[in-house]
Amino acid sequence: MANLIFLPVAERIESGTYLIYDAACGTGGMLTVAEEALTKLAADHGKEISTHLFGQEVNAETYAISKADLLLKGEGAEAERIQHGSTLSSDAFPSLEFDFMLSNPPYGKSWKTDLERMGGKKDLKDPRFVIQHGGDAEFSLVTRSSDGQLMFLANKLAKMKRSTPLGSRTAEVHNGSSLFTGDAGSGESNIRRWVIENDWLEAIVALPEGIFYNTGIATYVWVLSNRKADERRGLVQLIDATACSRPLRRNLGKKNCEMGPDDIREVSDVFLSQANLPEPAAAGEVRRVRTKVLPNASFGYWKVVVERPLRLAARLDDASLRSLRRAAVAAKDEALADLVDAVAPTLGAGPHLDINAVLATIRTAAAAKDESLTAKREKLLLAVLGRRDPKAAPVIRKQSKPKPGTQPEQESLHGRYQQKLGGRTVVVEYEPDPELRDTEQVPFLEEGGIEAFIRREVLPHAEDAWVDEDRTEIGYEISFTRHFHQPKPLRDLATIERDILALEQEAADLLRQVVSAG
C-alpha cells in the first residue's frame, strides 16, 4: 500500500512537511511503515522531509499499544496525535487535511451505534457523508448500518488536500462487497459514483486470499488520488494479484500466505506501467499478475423501471354491485353506488373488456346529476369492479394534448401514446400494473443508450412496456469476475464416455464380488 501511494509521485516529492493519516489505525503499523517508506523515498531523491502521523482508533487496547509504541520510540509529539474514539461519530480531526492516507477499516461490521449517535439515517447531516453532487443538494453517502467500511473511505475523501500540487493520495483495504453491494441510489453505490465521477479512483488491486490473520475472504486495495497523472485521467486500472504470493511455512490463524518482496515489486511495476496485459497465449501458461485499464464509464449503469399497463375487465354482476355498495358505504359515498346501479342494467353484467368505456358511462351519469367522478371515486371503482385480464384494454390514467415537435415513437417509449379518441388526437398515459413492474440495468457504454437497450431486450417480449423516466437512477459497480474470470474448459465427449464406462465396469465388478461372497 505504501508503494501504491508513494511511488507514482516519487519524482514530485519536495522537501517539506507531510501529514499521514489512518482513520482505523489499530496498533499503528500502517502509519509506521508509511513514514519509513516516505522518508526513505525522499532521501533517495535528495529531499529532506518531516512527517507527522495522525491516527484514530476505537478499540482501547490497540489504541494504547499504538500510543505506547510511539512513546517508546521517543516520538512523544506523534503519540499525542493518536486519538481514541470512533472516527465515524466522533471525528478527532474535523478541520485537517492530509497528504497521504491509508487504512484497513473494519468490514462486515455494524456501525449502527455510530449512526444513532449521529441522528439516524434521516437526520444525519455530517458534511463528510451528506454532500452536493450530480445536481443533488443532499447526495447521501450513508451506507447500510450493517457494514460501515465505505464510510471510512468517504471520511478520508473529505480530508483531501485540494490546494497542493500533489493533492492527496489514499490506499484502503476493503472486502469484495464494497465493489458491488448496494443498488443504484444506495449509499454504497453513491460513494462509488461520487469517487468515479470525480475521477479519483486510480486502481483496485485484488489481493491473494488467505493473506490476513482473521479472515480468508477476498480483499482489495483501493488506490485514490485527487491529482491523477494525465495518462490516468478518465481511467481505472484493475489489477488481479490473487496469484502473487508465497505460502507460509506455518499457518497463522487463517493467514496461509504472504506477499514477498518480489511479489510486491511485481504488482507495483504493473501498477506503475498502467498497461493492459494480454491474456496468456499458450495453453497452461499462467500469468501471476493480470491487469486491465478501463474507462470510468464502464462501471456505471442506469437502473430503469419498466412498466406495463394495468389491464382490467369490469364486472357489473350482482355480487360486484353488492361489494361496491359496501365499499362505498365505508367510504361515506353511497351516491357512487347509486350511480353505478343506475347504469348497470344498460351496460350489462359483463365482463366488459374496456373498463374505460364503463367509466365514461358512469362519468356521464354523474354529470347529469351535477356530480363528478373524482380520482378517488375512480380508484374505488377500479379496485372493486375491475379484475385483471390480459385481454382487456389498458386502463387510461391521463389524457393530454400532443406537444408540438414530439416524436410519437420516442414518446411511446416513455408511456405516452398518441391515439385518436372521440375524433381528436390525444396523448394517452396508462395506469401501470405493479405486479408486472420490472427493472433493468443499462450500462453507460450501451450503444444507443436506454432506448436501444429497451427496443432490443424488452419490447420484443413485452410490446406494451414503457420506461418510467422519472424513476431512472444512476448506479456504479465494479466486477472483477466479469473482467478476469477464466472458465475451465469443458471435457470432451470422448473423455466423459470413458469415465462413464469405467464407472459402469467398477459397479459391475462390485456387484460380482457381492454375489460371489453370498
Asked if 467 and 302 touch (Cβ cutoff 8 Å), the reply is no
Position 515 scores a pLDDT of 87
In this prediction, residue 281 has a pLDDT band, given cuts at 50, 70 and 90, of: very low
Per-residue pLDDT, averaged over 75-91, amounts to 91
- Residue 474 scores a pLDDT above 50: yes
Position 277 scores a pLDDT of 64
User: Which of 257, 251, 215, 182 is closest to 478 using CA atoms?
Assistant: 182
Kindly report, residue by residue over 102-123, the tens digit of the pLDDT: 999 998 899 999 999 999 988 8
Position 296 scores a pLDDT of 96
In this prediction, residue 350 has a pLDDT band, given cuts at 50, 70 and 90, of: confident
Position 115 scores a pLDDT of 94
Contacts of 59 (CB under 8 A, 6+ apart): 26
Domain residue ranges of the chain, discontinuous segments joined by +? 1-109+146-175, 306-456+464-474
Q: Is residue 351 reached through a cis peptide bond, with omega within 30 degrees of 0 on the bond before it?
A: yes
User: Which of 325, 354, 308, 356 is closest to 466 using CA atoms?
Assistant: 308
Q: How many angstroms separate the CA atoms of 276 and 287, rounded? A: 13
Query: Cα angle vertex 517, ends 516, 518, to 5°?
Result: 90
In this prediction, residue 97 has a pLDDT band, given cuts at 50, 70 and 90, of: very high
Q: How many angstroms separate the CA atoms of 376 and 356, rounded? A: 16
Percentage of the chain lying above the pLDDT 70 cut: 97
Contacts of 80 (CB under 8 A, 6+ apart): none
- Residue 284 scores a pLDDT above 60: no
Q: How many angstroms separate the CA atoms of 246 and 87, rounded? A: 35
Give me the chain's average pLDDT, please. 90
| CA dihedral for 6, 10, 12, 18, sign (positive or negative) | positive
CA atoms lying within 13 Å on the CB side of residue 488? 3
What is the identity of the amino acid at 128? R
In this prediction, residue 229 has a pLDDT band, given cuts at 50, 70 and 90, of: very high
Q: Which residue has the higher pLDDT, 63 or 214?
A: 63
Percentage of the chain lying above the pLDDT 90 cut: 73
- Residue 177 scores a pLDDT above 70: yes
Per-residue pLDDT, averaged over 196-201, amounts to 96
Cell of 484: 478476469
- Residue 58 scores a pLDDT above 70: yes
Per-residue pLDDT, averaged over 79-96, amounts to 94
Kindly report, residue by residue over 379-438, the tens digit of the pLDDT: 999 999 999 999 999 999 988 888 877 777 778 888 888 887 777 888 889 999 999 999
Strands 219-225 and 255-258: unpaired
Kindly report, residue by residue over 287-306, the tens digit of the pLDDT: 688 899 999 999 999 999 99
Name residue, grid cell 497465449.
281
Kindly report, residue by residue over 432-456, the tens digit of the pLDDT: 999 999 999 999 999 999 999 999 9
Asked if 203 and 271 touch (Cβ cutoff 8 Å), the reply is yes
| CA dihedral for 103, 106, 107, 111, sign (positive or negative) | negative
Q: How many angstroms separate the CA atoms of 89 and 142, rounded? A: 12
- CATH architecture of structural domain 1-109+146-175: 3-Layer(aba) Sandwich (3.40)
Q: How far is CA 339 from the centre of its chain?
A: 51
